[in-house]
Structure 1
């Protein structure tokens, strides 16, 4: 099964405590998750000359890291009308690019209980040589893709309407070697604050059970 994973690293030989989060997609079974995740973390650390610290998060994805798959979701339960949902839309600077792109798509939703809210969905475009905006609009409105979003949701989604594009970012080739689609950097006052970002064993077990029940 493919799942999402966010790993925590620290830059070596740096006067400041620089933390790095790398989010990726990888294939595993629940029984060998920890061995594979730690092995991958050490492999990435060696390649980028980082120190691997641990796991920050696990999350549901619809499949491997490729175009047409859902690789992440953010939910805004406080954005309950379409007008405010549209405020998340940003103008694209990229029209075509010979790179893989991480894309955030905005949907206005209603669940089976009648609750309305907004979500953003992460997916990728592979070697987006054609018009990026047009390609994304076609993908975002594709019923097969929308059904993938509904299938992996845990809040009884019933209706999802595509609103627009929140962001498009280039994925670096060095990250793609490890199926990494997002890298975030932040400085911390001390190492303890950084290691506090590691998920607890209890929470990790709960998240893994939820994911593998989908």
Structure 2
């Protein structure tokens, strides 16, 4: 489907490649939403999530995922009710699945301020963030340049941990109004049933059920 097309998938060629369906779930009514997409190697696929918080100033996007037309349309619906996207947060230094979508997502919301975790790195050549597509003039580093929405959010650093090629660092976020803790890779949840996202694309489950 055209509205699920993700043209930058060759930069990180993971399943389902150029088609990224998005499942939106309201986690806390009127305050917290998840935007979930699949990613995987061949048919070993897992959901990844961008979390949307409602703040007094508008919406905050935590841990970007591929901004397909479908996803952007869903965000516009939230904007119509709860105000504009004001803040985009890349809270990990090493999560490519969240780092690569950020430039496109930032272009879709040109008035949003972009915040990234310390210790951003690229491989095999270390490049400035602007060369990686991060918008100059509105990209800030968490902790080093301050912390956004400190009256509504509590931030804490996890790491750094040396990975050899670079370092892992993550900045967690606690949303006071809803009591929600946001992390990127620090926690993994495995339920007894397959995630709802697989209902739209059961291919990985069918492959392993042979």
- TM-score of the two chains, using structure 1 as the length reference: 0.27
Q: Which protein is richer in strand relative to its size?
A: 1
- TM-score of the two chains, using structure 2 as the length reference: 0.28
Q: Which protein is richer in helix relative to its size?
A: 1
Using CA pairs under 8 Å that are at least 6 residues apart, name the structure with larger relative contact order, 1 or 2: 1
